[in-house]
Amino acid sequence: MTHIQHHAHDDILMGYATGTLPQAFDLVVASHVSLSDDARARLESLEAIGGAVLEDIDMVDLAEDSLSQTLAKIGGEAPIEAPQWKVGVFPSPLQQVVGGDEEAVRWRNVGRGVKQCILHSDEDGTVRLLSIPAGRSMPAHSHNGTEMTLVLKGAFRDEDGVFARGDIEVADANVDHTPVAEPGEDCICLVATDARLKFRGLLPRIAQPFLGI
């Protein structure tokens, strides 16, 4: 069983439950919840509270033929068989986006052995897979917005501690760190950001527009 020490906070889970998070962050939270019994239990509690609140909201009258219209739409569509995702490095929500597990990723080299794969990007945020060779460090950086990182394989260390499989780190403008992959195994992370990172070094800043980080 995965031993998770760094969990998503309740405000993040509440945003996920109410659908107010950007799509990029939704994928990170859904993947974290799939790996964390603690996060899943807290999410269910928050959803139960939300359901209780909805019960107190005044009902809205529906059109008399609303049920027949809904059934007609359902009947007019061919049934879609849900794919069976195997147990692997990636949790089910991520496998659905990637189209499989780790071997299905189309990696792009970004330098010094580091690879990335951008899964989704829009005006609200970007979510990417990041593979860092064991023992290799990422450039020191701070943040113009929020960076949410979920470890899927291996582990990394920074100024806030060690983050291993299932752990989630949320960093903002107050966090300045240098993530380093722990020895022994390459570190694969799912990373969502809603703004460009603030790199200290000149070379990362020059490469930044081409990498979309």
What are the sequence ranges of the domains in the chain? 1-80+90-213
Between CA 188 and CA 106 the distance in angstroms is 13
CB 69 within 8 A of CB 76: no
Between CA 166 and CA 1 the distance in angstroms is 11
Please state, as a whole number, how many other Cβ atoms lie within 10 Å of the Cβ of residue 173: 12
Between CA 64 and CA 23 the distance in angstroms is 35
Between CA 175 and CA 161 the distance in angstroms is 13
Please give the model's pTM, rounded to 2 decimal places: 0.79
Write the pLDDT tens digit of every residue in 174-198: 888 899 999 999 999 999 998 887 7
Write the pLDDT tens digit of every residue in 14-57: 999 999 999 999 999 999 999 999 999 999 999 887 554 445 55
Which of these, 189, 128, 129, lies nearest to 158 by C-alpha position?
189
Which of these, 1, 33, 38, 31, lies nearest to 190 by C-alpha position?
31
Which of these, 40, 39, 36, 32, lies nearest to 94 by C-alpha position?
32
What is the helix (H) or strand (E) element at residue 8, kind and residue range?
A: none
What is the reported pLDDT for 78?
44
Question: Is the pLDDT reported for residue 11 higher than 50?
Answer: yes
CATH number for domain 1-80+90-213, candidates 3.40.50.1370, 2.60.120.10, 3.40.50.720, 3.30.70.100: 2.60.120.10
Between CA 199 and CA 176 the distance in angstroms is 9
